[in-house]
Structure 1
């Protein structure tokens, strides 16, 4: 397994942000690319239901501030984990299904995450309005595993962790699953932090 260079692409992810009825937030999804050479990522046509590798965040409470047409979401430091699902079956209708299988890595965000959304009605614009965010996360746990006849360990590939850039839609997915009042789709791309020191 080859180690990534600092700032080399580590992954592409697709997922959804969920706001529970109690106001807590979390994101869940799957990977379109990982630094696992030759490892199959899907059991069939690419989708969440066929993904071998998924992720799930620990729910958290966020704050927000407004600055004109910009709404800023302030997410606290928190954790998310990656899972190997040898029998894929995650579904966005059941967010907890993304946290099944073997936990192969856990990351902790290193600081506050600021997500920015443009309010179209205040900006007086038309067309698609999106939200963005960026954060760094340190790898705090990683477990080597065998898959499709090869050895993999995320720690060997990304080093100390990742920095991820995210883009989210502002149009909610309806209806949300039971227990949630808001769901927004997003995509994220991450680069490796490389070796510490």
Structure 2
């Protein structure tokens, strides 16, 4: 197993932000790349329904600030976990399905997360175009696991955690499943924090 250098690419993830009718937010999805060599990430073609490695956030409530054409979402410190699904079961129609399987790691965001949505004027109204965010998260728990013919542990690869840069759709075009009133697809790219000292 090779440990990543600080600021070396750790993962690519894709998923969706969900807003429950209660106002709580959470993001769920799967990984397109992880730092495990020769480990199958999918059981078949790349899709959420075939992904062996998924993630799920603990739901939270956000606040907002407006600044002209920018809308800022302020997410509190919170946690998300990574899961190994030996038999993939994730589906965007049931976001909690991404939180099934073996929990292989839990991360805690180190501070408030500011997400920025950019809007442009479309005749008399403002139309949202794209959303971005960046956050750092410390690895607070890691469980070694065997998969794909080897033994793996995210703590060995990532060190203290990750910094992730995200891009999301800003206009809701995906119909929300039951219990939710808003869904926005996103992608995230994370770099390793490396080891302290």
> Normalization by structure 2: what TM-score?
0.96
Q: Distance in 1 between matches of 2:138 and 2:173?
A: 31
Alpha-carbon contact 1:108-1:137 (below 8 Å) kept = yes
Alpha-carbon contact 2:119-2:130 (below 8 Å) kept = no
Deviating 4+ runs (over 4 angstroms): 122-128
Shift of 1:125: 10
The aligned runs of 1:95-114 (5 Å cut-off) are: 95-114=95-114
Shift of 1:140: 0.1
Corresponding position: 1:15 with 2:18: no
Equivalent residues, number: 197
Corresponding position: 1:151 with 2:151: yes
Aligned to 2:57: 57
Q: Distance in 2 between matches of 1:127 and 1:165?
A: 23
Q: 1:58 to 1:129 in 2, by over 3 A?
A: same
Aligned to 1:83: 83
Alpha-carbon contact 1:169-1:186 (below 8 Å) kept = yes
Q: Distance in 2 between matches of 1:63 and 1:127?
A: 20
Alpha-carbon contact 1:109-1:137 (below 8 Å) kept = yes
Q: Distance in 2 between matches of 1:118 and 1:128?
A: 6
Aligned to 1:5: 5
Shift of 1:123: 10
Alpha-carbon contact 2:119-2:128 (below 8 Å) kept = no
Q: 1:116 to 1:123 in 2, by over 3 A?
A: farther
Q: Distance in 1 between matches of 2:147 and 2:173?
A: 34
Q: 1:61 to 1:127 in 2, by over 3 A?
A: closer
> Normalization by structure 1: what TM-score?
0.96
Cα deviation code 1:18-51 (max 9, x no counterpart): 0000000000000000000100000000000000
Structure 2: gaps spanning 5 or more residues: none
